Amino acid sequence: MAILGLPEEEYFSYGHRACAGCGAALAVRLITKAAGRNSIIVEPTGCIEVVSTPYPETAWKLPWVHGAFENAASIASGVTSALKHLGKEDVNVIVIAGDGATYDIGFGHLSGAFERGHNFTYICYDNEAYMNTGIQRSGATPYAASTTTTPSGKESIGKQEWKKDLVHILAAHGSRYVATASIGYQIDAYKKIKRAIETKGPTFVNLLATCPTGWRTDISKSIEIAKLAVDTGVFPLYEIVDGRHIVNRPKSIEELKPVEEYLRMQGRYRHLFRPERNEEAINFIQQRVKENLRSLLEHVEKGL
Ligand SMILES: Cc1ncc(C[n+]2csc(CCOP(=O)(O)OP(=O)(O)O)c2C)c(N)n1
Ligand SMILES: [Mg+2]
């Protein structure tokens, strides 16, 4: 099915083995539409690699390199250096990686590549856990989400730590363009990916991608949930361009929908509502979400 307002060309073919309702598969379609034919994709191990390339088949209509779980940014560094040597610097080099690969195991490689200033775009399809290996928590998993390594129960609320703020960490590396995006807002995501690719040097987009299997959500609600993540402020959309913040959505604290609307739709948060409602935890999440948006908006006000 075409995505309204976006190029019709598809570089990620149907026939791949992603689950019904997979947000990451839609993320890849958006990324490759924005990238176009003149691109090389680097992919670490993770769901997208597994579902798109069961030997001897491939869903990719672009040159595609698979490495290990941890070293995608280093491979991309090598590819950019080789292209430079060949005088082919107009080719887009794009990493498409899961959050486990990005926030955790590949973080050293990512930091190194950003510090060295290679000309490539790194896009994390963030489904907020290690989904391919059975829903283990990652640095991107949000507070209170139940995963197989942070199971909720009498003694535990689920994950006890807040999501790592990787976008600001990468901005602090001096990247000229970092942004958040969601598969719920596809035109916004497409434009950001394009801008990231067109900006020289290392750039980053953290693209939220619903995972019905890991989040325990209805497969028909993937887009709705990815929109609600934004509209509740749990996952605000913003950019940092040459060190300055732009907040795209939500634009004010007043327009935030209650976080409960988002949490309630997902099995990974079911323990916050059943057998009884955990008012304290829901309030805590609500307050932190507000504080986070307030801080982003203050950055914009102060021109930071
Ligand atoms: C060094 C190493 N450790 C662990 C693994 C096993 N492994 C493969 S994919 C994966 C999880 C990937 O998680 P993420 O990057 O979030 O992608 P997703 O599966 O969620 O798409 C793990 C733990 C591996 N391949 N290599
Ligand atoms: Mg993941």
The amino acid present at 279, given as its one-letter code, is E
DSSP helix, strand, coil percent of the chain (3-state; round to 5) = 40, 15, 45
Asked whether 208 and 235 are in contact (CB, 8 A), the reply is yes
The answer on pLDDT for 193 being more than 70 is yes
Cβ neighbours of 208 (radius 10 Å): 27
Residue 1 has what pLDDT?
A: 64
pLDDT tens-digit profile of 75-87?
Answer: 999 999 999 999 9
Closest by CA to 152, choosing from 36, 41, 39, 273, is 273
Residue 207: band (very low, low, confident or very high) from pLDDT cuts 50, 70, 90: very high
Cβ of residue 250 lying under 6 Å from some atom of ligand 1: no
Share of the chain above pLDDT 90, in %: 97
**Which atom of ligand 1 is closest in space to residue 129's alpha carbon?**
16
- 57 exposure class (CB count in 10 Å sphere: 0-12, 13-18, 19+): exposed
Hey, how many other C-beta atoms are within 10 angstroms of the C-beta on 188?
18
Whether 52 is in the pocket of ligand 1, judged by its Cβ within 6 Å, is: no
Whether the per-residue pLDDT at 149 is higher than 70: the answer is yes
**Residues 195-211, mean pLDDT to the nearest whole number:** 98
* Sign for the pseudo-dihedral over CA of 212, 213, 214, 216: positive
What CATH number is given for 23-301 in this structure? 3.40.50.970
Domain positions in the chain: 23-301
- 5-21 per-position pLDDT tens digit: 899 999 999 999 999 99
Mean pLDDT in residue range 201-218: 98
Q: Determine the residue of 132, 164, 166, 211 to mutate for testing ligand 1's pocket, defined as the one with the most ligand atoms within 8 A of the Cβ atom.
A: 132
23-35 and 222-231 helices, crossing angle to 10°: 80
The response to whether residue 269 sits with its C-beta less than 6 Å from ligand 1 reads: no
pLDDT category of residue 3 using cuts at 50, 70 and 90: confident
Bridge pairing between strands 237-241 and 177-182: antiparallel
**Which band of pLDDT confidence, cut at 50, 70 and 90, is reported for residue 183?**
very high
- Best mutation site among 45, 51, 95 for ligand 1, i.e. most ligand atoms within 8 A of its Cβ? 45
Q: 110-135: per-residue pLDDT in tens?
A: 999 999 999 999 999 999 999 999 99
Paired with 249 in beta bridges are 237
Residue range 7-64, pLDDT digits in tens = 999 999 999 999 999 999 999 999 999 999 999 999 999 999 999 999 999 999 999 9
Confidence tier at 239 by pLDDT (50, 70, 90): very high
Distance of alpha carbon 224 from alpha carbon 261, whole angstroms: 11
Q: What percent of the chain has pLDDT over 70?
A: 100
Residue 224: pLDDT band by 50, 70, 90 thresholds? very high
Give strand ranges (E) for 186-243: 203-208, 237-241
Question: How far does CA 116 lie from the centroid of its chain?
Answer: 23
Question: CB neighbours of 304 closer than 8 A, spacing ≥ 6?
Answer: 243, 244, 245
Question: So what's the pLDDT on residue 241?
Answer: 98
**How far is the CA of 263 from the CAs of 19, 27, 142, 145, 165, in angstroms?**
22, 22, 11, 9, 20
pLDDT of residue 75: 98
| Average pLDDT of the chain to the nearest whole number | 97
